[in-house]
């Protein structure tokens, strides 16, 4: 005896989604991404290719120049030989093969001395083709490349284990990090997570040779008159430029260096030496009337000045530096950390450091990374096509990190989806 089944009447109160919204093409991301990579439609229509995807791979690799500079391999274009596809999509499934198309690139071998050019279409291999369903046929099986969420290139400001830090993350290349020592209030630089180098030493290795140059990257300055009447107002001010006087022989000598704090007896020396005016740092983060740099106010922090004092304490004691670290001294300090035990000539070290961050062959922020850097620092003067770092990016990163430390800017949330990007098949 079976129990009688009861029919349950269900009432649908929802709206049919097709009545008010058209269902999108759910595989369009896969199809458009791979089309952007191959640019197949433009190849079929003989249109010029954009510098992205496979085209960007070739243009970033070539030209390849011989060590003596006499010969070079130059890339001209690539082509997909669809007429030479051996098997159809269905046949590949049946025979356990990969559905692909031959890829050829036209390469020129140039001889600089003779001017001769050898041209040849080189077979680079077979590249898989995507089906209309957004899939690939690999060894007879239909496969799908799943989109992934990656950490986005750009700059991140973080606070972890009591350390304020920033990381410039490229699409490919060396990671550049900065961190602040809270106890001593010093800023350090780290390359590829190696040992840290004093921030001002790293800037000197990049070509900022004097204290005055470094100070003007971080602070606003003002000229003040030296007068016995305003003596008290000069105490504890920090010099933005060196104070120079002439000795008995008429030769110029430095009385006080940039970055030095004026104490009462030093103010007396200025008055005694008949110094009329000095340039001092304006420690004020507020935007003043008439300021043109709306996003670049002065820092209300002495971290950079503390780094100058640390230079004096460390390097003068070791006898490595005299008054200020030179470019050679700074490069030596950086590469002692990067490549310990490998002595390197100053010119070679300079070229290697510049190539590490300013050469597209070794460093690439990607368009996403460049956009995020420009947006973070409200600096749209660097075009989106500038895919390497520029020196202003490094200065802005250090400035912003110090602002985060003193509470003028906010930290970033690493797990926020705004700091992630979707890496699709193309």
CATH number at residue 354: 3.90.1110.10
Which residues, in sequence order, are CB contacts of 229 under 8 Å at separation 6+?
none
4 forms beta bridges with none
pLDDT digits (tens, 9 = 90+) for 386-410: 889 999 999 999 999 999 999 888 9
Question: Does 361 have pLDDT greater than 50?
Answer: yes
Give yes or no: residues 164 and 228 share one domain.
Answer: no
Based on the fold, state whether residues 379 and 252 are members of the same structural domain. Answer: no
Residues 195 and 274 in one domain: no
Cα(60)–Cα(40) distance, integer angstroms: 20
- Calpha distance 117→325 (Å, rounded): 49
Q: Which of 126, 145, 164 is the last residue of a domain?
A: 145
Same domain, 328 and 190: yes
Q: Report yes or no on 128 lying in a domain.
A: yes
SS3 content of the chain, % helix, strand, coil (to 5): 35, 25, 40
Cα angle value 120/128/144 (rounded, 5°):
160
pLDDT value of position 294: 46
Q: What does pTM read for this prediction? A: 0.81
Q: Does residue 184 contact residue 306 with C-beta atoms inside 8 Å?
A: yes
Instruction: Look at residue 293 and tell me if it is in a domain.
Output: no
Residues 138 and 157 occupy one common structural domain? no
308, pLDDT greater than 60: yes
**Number of structural domains in the chain:** 3
Residues 190 and 316 placed together within one structural domain of the fold = yes
Q: Estimate to the nearest angstrom the gap between the alpha carbon of 188 and the chain centroid.
A: 17
Q: Which of 145, 161, 179 is the last residue of a domain?
A: 145
Residue 231: give the domain boundaries.
222-282
The verdict on residue 243 lying in a domain is yes
Q: Are residues 238 and 337 in the same domain?
A: no
What is the distance between the alpha carbons of residues 85 and 416, in angstroms, rounded to a whole number?
45
**DSSP state string for 370-412:** HHHHHHHTT--SS-TT--S--HHHHHHHHHHHHHHHHTSSPPP
Is residue 405 in some structural domain?
yes
Structure-token pair, residue 338:
């990067």
C-alpha distance from residue 109 to each of 56, 179, 213 (Å): 20, 47, 46
Do residue 372 and residue 240 come from a single domain?
no
- Asked if residue 308 and residue 265 are part of one domain, the reply reads no
- Same structural domain for residues 342 and 258? no
Residue 288 lies in a domain: no
Question: Packing angle between helix 211-218 and helix 303-318, nearest 10 degrees?
Answer: 160
Q: Is residue 257 part of a domain?
A: yes
Show the tokens assigned to 380.
Answer: 């749209």
Q: Kindly report the CA angle at 295 between 289 and 296, in degrees rounded to 5?
A: 80
Q: Is the dihedral of CA 289, 290, 295, 298 positive or negative?
A: negative
Residues 293/298/299/303 CA torsion (nearest 10 deg) = 110
- Left (φ > 0), alpha (ψ -120 to 50) or beta: where does 387 sit? alpha
In a domain, 13, yes or no: no
pLDDT in tens, 317-345: 555 444 788 899 999 999 999 888 877 88
Instruction: Choose one of 88, 110, 145: the last residue of a domain.
Output: 145
Domain with 256 in it: what CATH number? Answer: 3.90.105.10
Q: Which of 223, 159, 200 is nearest to 304 (CA)?
A: 200
Residue 178 covered by a domain: yes
50 and 178 within one domain: no
State pLDDT tens for residues 138-154. 999 999 999 888 888 99
Q: Are residues 311 and 400 in the same domain?
A: yes
- H/E segment holding residue 267: helix 264-272
pLDDT per position as a tens digit, 22-40 = 778 889 999 999 999 999 9
């Amino acid at each position: 005896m079976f129990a009688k089944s009861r029919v349950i009447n269900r009432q649908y109160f929802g709206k049919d989604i097709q009545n008010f919204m058209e269902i999108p093409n759910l595989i369009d991301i896969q199809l458009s991404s791979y089309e952007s990579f191959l640019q197949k439609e433009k190849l079929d229509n003989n249109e010029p290719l954009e510098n992205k995807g496979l085209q960007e791979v070739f243009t970033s690799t070539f030209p390849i120049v011989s060590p003596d500079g006499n010969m070079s391999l130059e890339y001209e274009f690539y082509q997909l030989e669809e007429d030479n596809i051996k098997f159809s999509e269905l046949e590949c499934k049946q025979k356990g093969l990969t559905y692909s198309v031959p890829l050829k690139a036209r390469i020129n071998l140039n001889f600089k001395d003779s001017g001769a050019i050898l041209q040849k279409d080189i077979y680079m291999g077979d590249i898989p083709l995507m089906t209309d369903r957004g899939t690939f046929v690999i060894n007879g099986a239909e496969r799908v490349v799943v989109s992934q969420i990656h950490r986005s290139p750009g700059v991140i400001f973080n606070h972890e284990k009591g350390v304020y830090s920033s990381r410039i993350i490229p699409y490919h290349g060396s990671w550049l990090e900065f961190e602040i020592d809270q106890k001593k209030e010093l800023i350090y630089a780290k390359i590829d997570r190696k040992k840290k180098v004093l921030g001002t030493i790293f800037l000197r290795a990049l070509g900022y040779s004097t204290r005055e140059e470094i100070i003007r990257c971080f602070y606003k300055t003002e000229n003040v008159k030296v007068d016995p009447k305003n003596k008290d107002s000069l105490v504890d001010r920090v010099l933005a430029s060196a104070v120079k006087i002439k000795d008995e022989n008429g030769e110029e000598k430095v009385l006080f260096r940039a970055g030095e704090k004026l104490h009462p007896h030093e103010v007396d020396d200025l008055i005694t030496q008949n110094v009329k005016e000095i340039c001092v740092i304006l420690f004020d983060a507020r935007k003043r009337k008439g300021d043109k740099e709306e996003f670049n106010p002065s820092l209300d922090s002495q971290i950079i000045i503390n780094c100058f004092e640390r230079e004096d304490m460390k390097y003068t004691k070791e006898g490595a530096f005299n008054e200020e670290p030179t470019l050679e001294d700074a490069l030596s300090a950086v590469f002692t950390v990067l490549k310990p035990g490998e002595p390197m000539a100053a010119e070679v070290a300079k070229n290697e450091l510049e190539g590490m961050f300013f050469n597209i062959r070794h460093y690439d922020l990607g368009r996403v990374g460049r956009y995020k850097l420009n947006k973070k620092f409200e600096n749209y003067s660097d075009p989106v096509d500038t895919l390497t770092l520029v020196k202003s990016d490094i200065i802005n990163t250090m400035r912003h990190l110090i602002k985060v430390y003193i509470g003028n800017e906010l930290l970033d949330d690493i797990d926020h989806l705004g700091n992630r990007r979707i890496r699709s098949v193309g």
